[in-house]
Amino acid sequence: MTDATPEAGAAPEAGGSAAANGGRPEPAAPRRRDAARSRDLLVRAATELFAERGFERTTIREIGDRAGVDPALIARYFGGKTQLYLAAVQMELGDTAPADLLEEDRLRGLLERFSRRGPGPTFQAAVLPGDNTEVQRAARTYLHERLVRPLQDRFTAEQADRPRLRAELAAAAFAGIVLARTSGAFGELAEADSEDLLPLLHDLLAASRPAR
Amino acid sequence: MTDATPEAGAAPEAGGSAAANGGRPEPAAPRRRDAARSRDLLVRAATELFAERGFERTTIREIGDRAGVDPALIARYFGGKTQLYLAAVQMELGDTAPADLLEEDRLRGLLERFSRRGPGPTFQAAVLPGDNTEVQRAARTYLHERLVRPLQDRFTAEQADRPRLRAELAAAAFAGIVLARTSGAFGELAEADSEDLLPLLHDLLAASRPAR
DNA sequence: GGAGTATGTCATCATGTGATGACATCGCAT
DNA sequence: ATGCGATGTCATCACATGATGACATACTCC
């Protein structure tokens, strides 16, 4: 129940407040108290910031600032920063379909998405040993479900040897590349248009299949 | 009587450590105070810890603990945690030769080295946006010199298009894989023997060359 | 052997962070 | 309209961290 729960839209609009809005869902409600909205704003801001800077280096004050919501509400609504992260990952899980990285269309979709929004909060966990076990576990589950499993299934179907290892290898390579694009460490990689990058990336990942 | 023997001053390191070391090459110095040794121990411990946990999440107290040296000496000898990191990268630079990732022997060397010691402190910076500009710059330089440049030279010599982009792509993929091995996010990748992994990794990276 | 400096140890500060609870204000049910 | 719970605001706590300086001790040089 992350967003758009019926309870949210039901009551507050009936108030007949000054600016009676017709179809617009969220025009500029001047100053309404709406827990669902606050929760949603927090999750959104958190998703962005976790994606940009990682879990540890994002502070709840930053999240509150970007969301325009008092950081104390993070504790109230989610329990703490960790639970907020878990909620963000849950939302991401709902948004994203499993993607077989070797299908060029899937790959394009992911790449464009990451170019706009940065990689999800989970990718850093793929590559960094985290100290927060809950966070780690959620991130790993996400990665395995969305990236590794589809590849592993493909390799298994293709009767490749070591399907799991190959899938993990490709996923790790993909994570490294996507993260590196936003890290600033590699200039040309960061600036490359995702359309230009796509064929190179696709060829690279395709090499995780057994040579023939 | 026979009391009051000044043995107190004689055996402060009562652990009997003198007997512990056998034919160590550097045991001789009974010097209990040795700035050069302390500096060295600190740099070593720092290199390990930065590699394991990254720059930000390594504390100077941990470094001091592992080195067996008071953390305050970090400030004295290096100026601060940042400068200690820079010194560690410098040492790494001295140790490591530039490596063309497409040469299987080079790749094997790196892989085995990382299996033993973990990736160097710089790899995380390849993949994470850091907030410390000095640290970022040092890491970027290291990566570019040791990984990207050799590949770029190779691609240029092979008259591939976009040599720089291809080199960065391969380096980023390599960083992702090497980091993922120690992150715990991918089980089979982490447990795979480097000899087993080598051919797969080599094939994957080789695909950064233009298809023919 | 003694002085003076290099080296090491310790307590403490300043800051940033996540968390918590007291209080203020809103809005709905009655 | 009014009372009471829901929502928001604020001050503050507890803790970790990097840094700093005062002090203690060992080493070197004469």
First to last CA, chain B: 92
Length of chain A: 212
**More reliable by pLDDT, A117 or B15:** A117
Q: CA A130, B97, B187: angle at the middle one, nearest 5?
A: 30
What's the pLDDT score for residue A177?
A: 96
Q: Contacts of residue A203 in chain B, CB cutoff 8 Å? A: 207-208, 211
C-beta neighbour count of B59 within 10 angstroms: 13
CA A170/CA B79 separation, integer angstroms: 41
Contact: A177, B172; criterion CB under 8 Å: yes
Is the Cα dihedral B115, B116, B122, B128 positive or negative? positive
Within 7 Å of a protein beta carbon, the nucleotides of strand C are 6-11, 16-22, 26-29
Task: Tell me which range, A85-99, A126-140, B141-155, is most confidently predicted by mean pLDDT.
Answer: B141-155
Q: How confident is the model at residue A186 (pLDDT cuts 50, 70, 90)?
A: very high
Q: pLDDT tens across B46-93, in order?
A: 999 998 888 999 999 999 999 999 999 999 999 999 999 999 999 988
What's the pLDDT score for residue B27?
A: 42
Average pLDDT over all residues of chain B: 85
- What is the average pLDDT across B117-123? 82
What's the pLDDT score for residue A31?
A: 53
Note whether A89 contacts B: Cβ–Cβ < 8 A.
no
What's the pLDDT score for residue A12?
A: 36
Cα dihedral angle (B92, B94, B100, B103), rounded to 10 degrees?
A: -90
Query: B122 pLDDT exceeds 50?
Result: yes
Query: A44 pLDDT exceeds 70?
Result: yes
What's the pLDDT score for residue B133?
A: 86
Which residues are CB-neighbours of A50 under 8 A, at least 6 positions away?
A: A58, A85, A88, A120, A121
CA B17/CA A203 separation, integer angstroms: 57
Q: pLDDT tens across B2-28, in order?
A: 333 333 323 333 333 333 333 333 444
Note whether B204 contacts A: Cβ–Cβ < 8 A.
yes
Is the Cα dihedral B144, B145, B147, B153 positive or negative? positive
What's the pLDDT score for residue B31?
A: 64
Contact: B126, A186; criterion CB under 8 Å: yes
Q: How confident is the model at residue A3 (pLDDT cuts 50, 70, 90)?
A: very low
Q: Which nucleotide is nearest to A31 (CA to C1')?
A: C26
| Residue to substitute from B124, B135, B204, interface A, most A β-carbons within 10 A | B204
Length of chain B: 212
Closest CA to A205 of A143, A148, A141, A161: A148
Contact: B180, A175; criterion CB under 8 Å: yes
Note whether B168 contacts A: Cβ–Cβ < 8 A.
yes
Q: Measured from the CB, is B28 under 7 Å from any atom of strand D?
A: no
Q: Measured from the CB, is B58 under 7 Å from any atom of strand D?
A: yes
**More reliable by pLDDT, A42 or A124:** A42
In angstroms, how far is C28 C1' from A35 CA?
14
Which residues are CB-neighbours of A52 under 8 A, at least 6 positions away?
A: A58, A118, A182, B129
Query: A62 pLDDT exceeds 90?
Result: yes
- What is the average pLDDT across A68-75? 98
Query: B172 pLDDT exceeds 90?
Result: yes
Q: Contacts of residue A200 in chain B, CB cutoff 8 Å? A: 162, 165-166, 169, 208
Contact: B203, A204; criterion CB under 8 Å: no
Which residues are CB-neighbours of A173 under 8 A, at least 6 positions away?
A: A204, A205, A208, B173, B174, B176, B177, B204
Is the overall model pTM greater than 0.85, yes or no?
Answer: no
Backbone angles phi, psi at B38, to 5 degrees: -60, -45
Average pLDDT over all residues of chain A: 85
Residue type, A97: A
- What is the average pLDDT across A99-120? 90
Q: Do residues B98 and B108 touch, judged by C-beta distance below 8 A? A: no
Q: Do residues A118 and A133 touch, judged by C-beta distance below 8 A? A: no
Residue type, B15: G
Q: Which nucleotide is nearest to B37 (CA to C1')?
A: C7
Question: Residues of chain B with pLDDT > 90: what percent?
Answer: 65
What's the pLDDT score for residue B165?
A: 98
Three-state SS letters, chain B: CCCCCCHHHHCCCCCCHHHHCCCCCCCCCCCCCCHHHHHHHHHHHHHHHHHHHCCCCCCHHHHHHHHCCCCHHHHHHHCCHHHHHHHHHHHHHHHCCCCCCCCHHHHHHHHHHHHHHCCCCCHHHHHCCCCCHHHHHHHHHHHHHHHHHHHHHHHHHCCCCCHHHHHHHHHHHHHHHHHHHHHCCCHHHHHCCHHHHHHHHHHHHHCCCCCC
B109, HSE (Cβ side, Cα atoms, 13 Å): 12
Interface of A with B in 99-138 (CB under 8 A): 124-129, 131, 136
